[in-house]
Copies of this chain bind each other. A is one copy, B any other.
């Protein structure tokens, strides 16, 4: 077996085993191929929406069999980073697809037939030094700049979602309320297309809360209306956090859907 990958370390095979305490002494070839492909995705060499080289081409480049490339691609596709299309090729996933729209927005009308277009209203977009708690969660240094965005989502003409969003300033230079408003399509589509920041996964913490004065006015609800509080931390490649979002969802005619598998 020839494990000389032209661009990276070779297999840490059974020869050099039990090095150090509990160190993984073995890494399958396909994992190394996957890591190489991940690097190209992260570097932007393969761009969202575009096709990557064919499996045969990649196998030849990496000097491995097609089956090994397939297994690497299988995992990347399972993680929603690539999309396979039989007969056409394998493509880099993008947030600018219907398919991805509802992967992150889990709020759904109680009557699906009442679904309609969602109107986005941006109330604020400013740059400021990160408050201590925000900085900590985003793994920034105290005093680093962040972009703070406030917006309201309207379902069927009615305000239903109030989002406060914080983004690391150094990754989003030039982001403004105008660019947010002008962009057609999902916000994460703008982020990947204009700033090269791709949201890969996120963790949410959900609670029930009551609104404060400001929130009552923005959502046009009385003080006694219970709301879902959804705190989301989104991450890009290497699990680096790149967005903190605190959303308030009005759930009298909508619900947060979740599938347990």
Contact = CB atoms under 8 A, between A and B. Distances in A.
Interface of A: 78-80, 103-104, 106, 201-210, 224, 226-228, 232, 249, 251, 255-261
A228 B206 CA distance: 8
A259 B204 CA distance: 6
A106 B258 CA distance: 11
Contacts of A204: 257-260
A212 to B, nearest CB: 13
A208 B208 contact: yes
Instruction: From A207, A210, A259, name the one whose CB has the most chain B CB atoms within 10 angstroms.
Output: A207
The 3 A-B residue pairs whose C-beta atoms are closest, nearest first, are A208-B226, A226-B226, A207-B251
Contacts of A256: 205-207
14 contacts: A78-B78, A79-B261, A80-B261, A203-B259, A205-B255, A206-B206, A206-B251, A207-B228, A208-B227, A208-B251, A210-B224, A210-B226, A226-B226, A258-B258
A258 B203 contact: yes
Contacts of A257: 203-206
Nearest to A252: B207
A99 to B, nearest CB: 14
